[in-house]
Structure 1
Amino acid sequence: MNLLFLKVTLIPTVIALVTLAVRRWGNKIGGLIGSMPWTAGPILLFFLLEQGKAFGIHSIQGTMTGILALISFCLSYSALSRHFRWLPTLLLSYVIYTLTILFVNYLKLGLRVSYALVIVYVLIALRYFPTPTERPSQVRRLPFDILIRMSVATLFVLLITGLAAILGPNWSGILTPFPIMTSVLAIFSHLLQGSNAAIVTLRGLVIGLLGFTTFLFLQAFLLNEFSIPVSFGIAFAVNTVINIIASRIW
């Protein structure tokens, strides 16, 4: 019951804070902040507490596959958003996301290879990422948009952690970085500010994946040596430093 309470309080609080950060510091910084392990971190934590440390560590390999697909989602959404409204853009991007997962999962890559591949893919994606044609339009907001974002993200976390025992560590890990927060950020940016805002937000998120992926990769080793709070604390600090450096470079 305590874990359930944590799920329905922690996740919506995080989503609300990330949304406010986007409004306060803009789409690029908001994307960077959104790429931090606000959702994947708690999901991994719940795996560890509910399914055991071995399950949680094993799920990290699947998460790397999910991150590769997430990069494909960000690239495709950014490119397609220039030509379509948010719904067809989202659906087509989900198709590309799914195809990426099926292909990478078929390859059965090891953790270190997957991590290296994610880093290389991020760098390639940033090299060829769509460039906004103009500044994002004036911000518009839907009624109750923060509440909508909080509800969607919370339901997703409840679903993934609830089905973990059925899905197993590999597919639980693959679905952990499912672009739920990314979709929410992209859709609302696209709908309310236009394609350019979505591109800026998603590019910021891809930049942040350098730190996000490192956070998860480190857990596969830190969790064998340290307690969960210490492992998460060390990796989160590394994640933050990488994000700060990456934001200055790109």
Structure 2
Amino acid sequence: MQIAVTGHPGTGRDTVARALRRCFGVRARRLADRGGADGGSSGSALPPDLAVHVLGAAVRDCDLSFLRRVDVPIVAVLGKCDLRGGAEEVRSLVARAARDLGRPVFGVSGPAAAAQVTEDLRAALADWAVAGRWVPVLAASFVDVDDPVERARRTSALAELGGRGLAVALERCAAEPTVSAAELTRHLRGFSGIGALAAPVRACAPVIAAERERRHRRALTLLAARGGGPDGGGSAGGAETDRDRCEADLIR
């Protein structure tokens, strides 16, 4: 599946695209910026089957304007939910965005969704949990240590998991010191909310299949009209054979 990740700059589109690739095995890319919300090509030779539109803290006019122009199925996501306060505040923001858009909105913590805990990262998390190291309210201050090696290790962990994801991972390590890297990855992705996107994406499958069939039939129609091969050339006999094959495909 080809997914275009859209939204205005600063909403965490790249992280959501990475999470979609890692969690669902789809092709997902952020579209190139054009004004407030994205438009244009995803950089793939194939057109997108689906748009995952990432919102900021609130729906903006550029979101509404862009979504009115989109002609593929859309799944709307409230991004950076790990930075939006507690669970109750996130639910309130999601509900308000859904009312403003007139469609379901799903809250996602991008860094936790995209998490891929390595054994080295798991070992670092276990060390910090044993030592009672916790993520402060200002997460960036977690890396304020004198030892350059330790500072680099903390910086890498914070960049990979985000502040809230790092806190969740440390809590799990403190509760279960022998937790594996794979289990931590699953735990973080469960916390992230990314799993809730599976059902709405799956629900778009019939529309996606119909559009792919329409594009396929249009391409065959053009190929048949041109008389066969990509350049429309070839011998009369060969072109006729190719046309017959295309037309047979069209009526199957």
Same fold (TM over 0.5): no
What is the TM-score when the length of structure 2 is the normalising length? 0.25
- Which has the larger Rg? 2
What is the TM-score when the length of structure 1 is the normalising length? 0.25
Structure holding more helix per residue: 1
